Amino acid sequence: MTKNSIVVSGIRPTGNLHLGNYMGAVKNFLKMQNEYNCFFFIADYHSLTTHPNPMDLHQNVRQVLAEYLACGLDPEKCTLYIQSDLPQIPELYLLLNMHAYKGELERVSSFKEKARTQPDNINAGLLTYPVLMAADIIIHRAGLVPVGKDQEQHLEMARTFGNRFNRMYSIDLFPEPQAFNYGGELVKIPGLQGGGKMSKSDGDNNVINLVDEPEKLRKKIMKAVSDSGPTEPNSAPSQSAQNLFDLMATVSSPETLNFFKEAHANCNIRYGDLKKQLAEDMIQFLTPIREKIQDIYADEAYLGKVAKLGAEKARESAEATLTEARKAIGFKRFF
Ligand code: TRP
């Protein structure tokens, strides 16, 4: 069997990218675009389940597109597109829906969770979210999908729906997509409030957004949780102290990091000084990225060019698959 090196991943257009997204997801995308045939898209159809207002929807799509481009996604190396520019996706979704069963969809944990938290908006789009996601993936006959643990069940369903279609119509059209990661240690980017992973769900003060201005970064970092300082020499840092070291490790020089680690070991660390240094190093690191995001966001002509190129490349791949699927089903044009 030849290696399937087609990659698909969808990016939800929700809010700003933060440092955790950058060090986790985005960096992997940058590496993958050099090694695989990658389709990365902004999942704007998926975001409709929560009924965004039209202005917000467009702005959010534009913002993530600008952010990914600024981080280094290269429209010449990968196929970067907006989901709603591909009519082939909803068409395949419709075809797959005919073999997706209410019972199995109701058992999906993300659906159960949403049904519980938003009981007033349990729409059919929410129920069939995994079908749409399956269509996203198998429309390009992808083999690899870089997603986090929380998406594994959806990926399993993409395999189920693809296999079911193959079996129904005695065709070998859809390969089985597998979760992909580069292995090795994942860089862990902690939040600022002393908890675990940097995450928007813990509030804006917990995250460092790529677009945060210097003053905002200083404020957020100075307010980061620390502790009352070590009392015994060479004691292990508390979680909040370790978090500050971890953040420092991502943006500061090894010398700077060692300086503060030694101060901790010698019980004379001053967290205020550490945070000041961390804030300045963070600003140094993020300023070029922020400026690039702003430039790209403002450049409508460039964004238009990128979206058009992506749509063209993606449509070609999608249409080839869909033609096979239509044929297998028995659609035959009279004209
Ligand atoms: N459901 C994914 C998420 O919430 C986004 C997504 C939509 C996706 N379609 C996809 C991811 C296809 C990978 C492949 O993050």
pLDDT tens digits along 227-274: 999 999 999 999 999 999 999 999 999 999 999 999 999 999 999 999
For the chain, how big is the Rg over CA atoms in Å?
23
Q: 200-294: which CATH topology?
A: Tyrosyl-Transfer RNA Synthetase (1.10.240)
Report the separation in Å between the CA atom of 158 and the middle of ligand 1, taken as the mean of its atom positions. 11
Q: Where are the domains of the chain?
A: 3-188+300-329, 200-294
CA of 214 relative to ligand 1 center, distance in Å: 32
In order of 16, 53, 111, 209, the CA distances from 58 in angstroms are: 14, 9, 25, 20
Q: Verify whether ligand 1 is closer than 6 Å to residue 43 (CB atom).
A: yes
The reported pLDDT for the residue numbered 1 is 39
User: In testing the pocket of ligand 1, which one of 8, 64, 151 has its CB within 8 Å of the most ligand atoms?
Assistant: 151
- 90 exposure class (CB count in 10 Å sphere: 0-12, 13-18, 19+): middle
136 Cβ closer than 6 Å to some ligand 1 atom: yes
Testing ligand 1's pocket by substitution, the residue of 126, 154, 155, 156 carrying the most ligand atoms inside 8 A of its CB is 154
The DSSP bridge partners found for residue 18 are 209
Distance 130 CA to ligand 1 centre (A): 9
Does residue 59 carry a pLDDT above 50?
Answer: yes
Reference 85, options 44, 38, 143, 129; nearest CA is 44
Q: Whose CA is nearest to atom 7 of ligand 1?
A: 10
**Residue 232 phi, psi dihedral angles, 5° rounding:** -110, 135
Residues 250 and 23 sit within 8 Å (Cβ to Cβ): yes
Residue 49 phi/psi, 5° resolution? -60, -25
Token code pair at residue 98: 């005919």
Quote the tokens at residue 335: 């004209």
Write the pLDDT tens digit of every residue in 265-297.
999 999 999 999 999 999 999 999 999 999 999
Starting from the edge strand earliest in sequence, which strands make up the sheet with 79-82, in order?
A: 79-82, 37-42, 6-11, 144-145, 178-179
Q: How far apart are CA 80 and CA 88, in angstroms?
A: 16
Phi, psi of 11 (to 5 degrees): -115, 120
Task: Kindly give the distance from the C-alpha atom of residue 151 to the centroid of ligand 1, in angstroms, as a whole number.
Answer: 7
The residue from 77, 200, 216, 313 that is catalytic is 200
pLDDT in tens, 101-130: 999 999 999 999 999 999 999 999 999 999
Distance CA 174, CA 138 (A): 6
200 catalytic per annotation: yes
Tens digit of each residue's pLDDT (9 = 90 or more) over 3-13: 679 999 999 99
Beta-bridge partners for 38: 7
Q: Which CATH superfamily is domain 3-188+300-329 in?
A: HUPs (3.40.50.620)
Q: Which atom of ligand 1 is nearest to the CA of 136?
A: 12
Average pLDDT over residues 176-193: 87
Average pLDDT over residues 313-330: 98
**Mean pLDDT to the nearest integer, 19-28:** 92
The number of angstroms, rounded, from the C-alpha of 174 to the middle of its chain's C-alpha atoms is 24
Whole-prediction pTM: 0.93
| Mean per-residue pLDDT of the chain | 95
Per-residue pLDDT averaged across 189-194, rounded?
92
Q: Rounded to an integer, what is the distance from CA 26 to the centroid of its chain? A: 7
According to the model, what pLDDT value does residue 291 have? Answer: 98
CA angle 124, 130, 135 (to 5 degrees): 105
- Mark whether 3 is an active-site residue: no
